[in-house]
Amino acid sequence: MDATSPKLAAPSAETIDRLVAVVGEKYAVRDAQEMENYVTEWRDRWPGRASLVLRPGSTQEVSEILKIANETQTGVVPQSGNTGAVGGQVPSPSGNEIVVSLERMNKILRVEALDNTIAVEAGCILQSVQEAAEEVDRLFPLRIGSQGSCQIGGNLGTNAGGIATLAYGNARDLALGLEVVMADGRIWNGMNRLRKNNTGYDLRDIFIGSEGTLGIITGAVLKLYPNPRDRAVALVGISAPEPALELLALAQGKTGNGVVGFEIFPHYGMEIVERHTELRNPLGSYFPWYVIVEIAGGAAPGDLMPVLTSILEEAFEADLISDAALASSEAQYQMFWSMRERMSEVQKFEGGSIKLDTSVPVSQVPELIERGLEALKEAVPDARPLPYGHIGDGNIHFNISQPEGADTDAFMARWDELTGIINNIAIDMSGSISAEHGIGQSKTYMMPKVKSPLEMELLLGLKDLFDPNGILNPGKVLPS
């Protein structure tokens, strides 16, 4: 189900001129064809239209834009790297909204190594933040497949997860402070650098994960971590998700908090990575499932290879794993992780792909996978399920590729039915239908199902308080 038609009208020609004047003609896009990259997303699933795209260069300009939009009741879609997975960053097909892209606001403001903080503008690309941290021998630990193009504003807007959440938490856990422009243009300076600050309700946490519906994040103070002195990674062949969890417990037991990444994918994932990329299975043969495990820490390079080797030997002796390859060079390290990080991309080449973002308590992932596979077999016997991802966080992308040779449109038309099958199993297991991607426009209709009437009342009340005219990302997150 897609975004409901927004109630707000398109801006008049006069309003458009006023808005353009804020950023200057050079940073405004009026032409529909030139807007293409801002109104469509990477899966071509929610094609939208916009009256205008603006690319402000400062918080003050964002503030001026929102003042005008609020006064004229113009819908505004905040956009960062446009890699979001639930259509939150693209406008509705009505063409009534404007898109505000933060891409020009990409400055690293201040790196404080002793404080372990970095202050950035919201349009900074995630990878640039990682690199700026690296320059002072620190780690910014948010790691996701889209890190070369997603931006901090979008990461905070969605409360992004990724492959190091197991050790470092979601984007929310990595933010100390924010600067946010409110719907009426007022600027909240909450660029807090303190580790401890319990002065009343936490506004920062309300904006994080609000997907552009409560305010536009223009700056952030983020946490840095000491850079681990060593890391070791292995690709492991395994028979099923249960022993994978036993391997996780074993590795955590042997390293304290040293497991930073623990990801799973089934054989079908390996098959399509090999089919559509230059990457090759480094193991001697093929297995029903694969795990990538990374441990980090130690006092010097080389410390962790023997630790991971002994974990894997013990796992092998206990019959938990079938085979393992340890990365012995930086190139191999990158190659193992590429297999996992390119999983999203390669699904596209297999035809229609239905996406899920379920989570259950970690110990119940095997049950989720078993029940999901059984139910799908009944619904679409030839479909190719790809339950993969962040097993260490209990977060499985239970994606489903169309049957080979099937009609893509007919398969994709079953999106709500098939996601419903998996989501209902997750709900039955007290899980979540959106572990890390958010609600956007794709899951808005599910909100009354997964939130109690009290929760809905409080959420709608918050929206009304922060954005009384409903101009911020209309039709996203909450049903209108």
Could you list the residues that contact ligand FAD (CB under 6 A)? 42, 77-85, 88-89, 102, 122, 144-146, 150-151, 153-155, 157-158, 160-162, 211-212, 216-217, 344-345, 436-437, 440, 473, 476
C-alpha 125/C-alpha 147 separation (Å) is: 7
Q: How far is CA 5 from CA 9, 49, 252, 314, 438, in A?
A: 10, 12, 49, 57, 20
Interface with ligand 2HG (CB under 6 A), residue from 147, 399, 419, 423: 399
- Minimal distance in Å, beta carbon 205 to ligand 2HG? 22
Could you say whether residue 85 binds ligand 2HG (CB under 6 A)?
A: yes
217 versus 235: smaller Cβ distance to ligand FAD: 217
The count of C-alpha atoms lying within 13 angstroms of the C-alpha of 37, restricted to the half-sphere facing its C-beta, is 7
Q: Taking CB under 6 A as the rule, which mask of x and - marks residues 334-363 in contact with ligand 2HG?
A: ---------xx----------x--------
- Minimal distance in Å, beta carbon 84 to ligand FAD? 3
Could you say whether residue 434 binds ligand 2HG (CB under 6 A)?
A: no
C-alpha 101/C-alpha 472 separation (Å) is: 13
Long-range contacts of 203-209 (CB under 8 A, 24+ apart): 203/178, 204/175, 204/176, 204/177, 204/178, 205/172, 206/462, 206/466, 207/156, 207/178, 207/180, 208/156, 208/157, 208/159, 208/171, 208/172, 208/175, 208/178, 209/156, 209/157, 209/158, 209/159, 209/172, 209/438
Could you say whether residue 389 binds ligand 2HG (CB under 6 A)?
A: yes
130 versus 239: smaller Cβ distance to ligand FAD: 130
- Minimal distance in Å, beta carbon 36 to ligand FAD? 15
Could you say whether residue 397 binds ligand 2HG (CB under 6 A)?
A: yes
157 versus 298: smaller Cβ distance to ligand FAD: 157
Return the bridge partners of 290, or none.
237, 265
80 versus 344: smaller Cβ distance to ligand 2HG: 344
By CB under 5 A, the residues from 377 to 396 that bind Zn ion are: 389
C-alpha 123/C-alpha 101 separation (Å) is: 8
Q: Taking CB under 6 A as the rule, which mask of x and - marks residues 37-76 in contact with ligand 2HG?
A: ----------------------------------------
217 binds, among Zn ion, ligand FAD, ligand 2HG, none (CB under 5 to 8 A by kind): ligand FAD
**Residue with the two structure tokens 């590729």:** 401
Look at residues 451, 441, 474 and name the one whose alpha carbon lies nearest to residue 85: 441
Q: How many residues does the chain have?
A: 480
217 versus 311: smaller Cβ distance to ligand FAD: 217
Could you say whether residue 86 binds ligand 2HG (CB under 6 A)?
A: no
The residues near 17 (Cβ < 8 Å, ≥ 6 apart) are: none
**Residue with the two structure tokens 């070369």:** 148
What amino acid occupies position 414? R
What amino acid occupies position 255? T
117 binds, among ligand 2HG, Zn ion, ligand FAD, none (CB under 5 to 8 A by kind): none
C-alpha 126/C-alpha 106 separation (Å) is: 10
C-alpha 179/C-alpha 187 separation (Å) is: 7
Could you say whether residue 143 binds ligand 2HG (CB under 6 A)?
A: no
- Minimal distance in Å, beta carbon 395 to Zn ion? 6
Could you say whether residue 463 binds ligand 2HG (CB under 6 A)?
A: no
**Residue with the two structure tokens 């000491």:** 226
Check the CA dihedral 68-70-72-73 and report its sign. Answer: positive
CB-nearest residue to ligand 2HG? 344
Q: Taking CB under 6 A as the rule, which mask of x and - marks residues 250-279 in contact with ligand 2HG?
A: ------------------------------
Site for ligand 2HG, rule CB under 6 A? 85, 145, 343-344, 355, 389, 397, 399
